Amino acid sequence: MDKHANLHASDARPVLEGPDIARVLTRIAHEIVERAKGADDVVLLGIPTRGVFLAQRLAVKLQQVTDRKVPVGSLDITMYRDDLRLHPPRALARTEIPGDGVDGKLVVLVDDVLFSGRTIRAALDALNDIGRPRAVQLAVLVDRGHRELPIRADYVGKNLPTSLRETVKVQLTEEDGRDTVLLGVKAGQ
């Protein structure tokens, strides 16, 4: 089992379980179709690691709703982070842009947790080097607040008001062996 599975398991409590996550993703899929008026030109780009799995799940749901294959890929933001100089270099994750690219498309960025907004800023920069979408939207599983940049999500699975002392941990079957969102307290607090 992945090392994250037991992270603060004792003092963290689940706020979303497997069925909740599935339901939330279904709702977001419907919202995307509704707002994009059919989602013909939607491209889903997940932000590694867990955003990629969420994007893939969303793609399946969208296909169920629209009966069309929705292009899905991944967008690694490591090289665009604004805190690179604060840590040792991180291993890179995969950037995988679907065959037709993003030019003129509606790109929906997908991530697990929206927090400071810095990840999304980096993602917008990364996207800028890849092409020129018609529009960019953002889908997140959890919005925990505390934004440090003027960024908001277009599709939110769950709004989760948190304090800065708390941690939000998303676990997904593909990576962690189970689906859950845990709310815990920072170590050492």
List of residues contacting other proteins (CB under 8 A):
76, 79-80, 84-95, 125, 129-131
**Shortest reach from residue 95's CB to other proteins, in Å:** 6
3 versus 87: smaller Cβ distance to other proteins:
87
Nearer to other proteins, 80 or 155 (CB): 80
Report in angstroms how near the CB of residue 116 gets to other proteins at its nearest: 19
Which residues lie below 8 Å from residue 76, measured CB to CB, with a gap of 6+?
A: 47, 48, 92, 93, 94, 95, 126
Kindly state the smallest distance separating residue 44's Cβ from other proteins, in Å: 19
Among the listed residues 140, 141, 104, the one whose alpha carbon sits nearest the alpha carbon of residue 120: 140
- 49 preceded by a cis bond (ω within 30 of 0): yes
Closer residue to other proteins (CB): 95 or 167: 95
Q: How far is the CB of 99 from other proteins (least distance, A)?
A: 12
Nearer to other proteins among residue 92 and residue 185 (C-beta): 92
Minimum CB separation from other proteins for residue 117, in Å?
Answer: 18
Nearest CB to other proteins, comparing residues 86 and 187: 86
- Which tokens is 171 given? 């676990």
Q: Tell me the chain's radius of gyration from C-alpha atoms.
A: 16
DSSP type of residue 163: -
Q: Between residues 5 and 93, which has the closer beta carbon with respect to other proteins?
A: 93
Shortest spacing between CB 85 and other proteins, in angstroms: 5
Instruction: Return d(Cα 105, Cα 121) in angstroms, integer.
Output: 19
Are 57 and 32 in contact, with CB atoms under 8 Å apart? Answer: no
Report the Cα 120 to chain-centroid distance in Å: 9
Beta-carbon contacts of residue 8 (< 8 Å; ≥ 6 apart) = 167, 169, 182, 184, 185, 187
